[in-house]
Amino acid sequence: MANAKSALITGGAGFIGSHLVDGLLADGWRVCVVDNFDPYYAEAIKRRNIAAHLRHANYRLLECDLRDAAAVEAIAPAAGGDFDVIVHLAAKAGVRNSLTDPLGYQMSNVIGLQNLLTFAHRRGIKQFVFGSSSSVYGDCPRLPWSEADLDLLPMNPYASTKLAGEQLGYVYSRTFGLRFIGLRFFTVYGERQRPDLAIHKFARLMLKGHKIPVYGDGSSERDFTYWGDIVAGIRASMEYQASAYEVFNLGNHRTIGLLDTIRKLEDVLGVKADIDWQDWQPGEMRRTWANIDKAQRLLGFTPATDFDTGMARFAVWLKDTLKLEGAAVA
């Protein structure tokens, strides 16, 4: 496919990234994935995510740390050419861990992005899609949260790095002519979800008969968004050309309470939850809720998977995954 489009996907072995790569390869794209297999969670999970990709002729994997500017500069020669678009999903993740390692998060999420933006500018790559986070809103009192809210005050180091990333993107768009699209993801869930995230963590503990840690009084709410809808939003952003800089919310425009989430897990897993009530954690947001009017208008973004359907699919995947893990251990 001489005329196939080419994409550089950072973090392409992770939860969202590997799903994105599935679709791109199926549609004939040439894909180069950069991932450093950060030990935040088991490397074997990411290796399993990309097992099928490695057999594809249009797929290239580069193990690279984006904090290393020289290694970033070597990506294009190693991949055999330049790219039509960069989708930057790699990041040091997790709100709570960022409280104990703020410098590490700054280095990975801000310096890593800076190196990649410099790479894009030097190579003349004009389309840059950045995976941001709903956490940039902090405790913004105006609900649902809108991209028009500019007085944002993040509550943890992770969130501050994501807001800094959006601002860096604006600099490169305004000064160097790069089209930068920032996507604020709202609580993504579904098959391949990271094991540290609440739905996945709770589900594993429940299936093993263990207590699940619930922080605060259980009144927190999240705008849960199925991975397939997030990937659809990313794909639309890869093609977006109507303006040079935009930030979009990608959410489900619906909040679900923590206790309702646990009840849904009980339903799809067929087990009861044993709750271990704990104190509220610093840096955590009590509610997330996306206004998606802008994404609907400019990207054609419309969530297609309701929470019940997404959770049922997640439960099937998790049970199959646990069987695979059990067989591997045996």
- DSSP state letter for 107: I
Active site residues: 158
pLDDT in single tens digits along all 330 residues of the chain = 457 899 999 999 999 999 999 999 999 999 999 999 998 899 999 999 999 999 999 999 999 999 999 999 999 998 888 899 999 999 999 898 999 999 999 999 999 999 999 999 999 999 999 999 999 999 899 999 999 999 999 999 999 999 999 999 999 999 999 999 999 999 999 999 999 999 999 999 999 999 999 988 888 999 999 999 999 999 999 999 999 999 999 999 999 999 999 999 999 999 999 999 999 888 778 899 999 999 999 999 999 999 999 999 999 999 999 998 886 643
Helix (H) or strand (E) holding 88: strand 85-88
CA-closest candidate to residue 225, choices 299, 292, 147, 161: 292
Distance CA 232, CA 22 (A): 12
CATH architecture of 6-190+225-253+285-303: 3-Layer(aba) Sandwich (3.40)
pTM of the model: 0.96
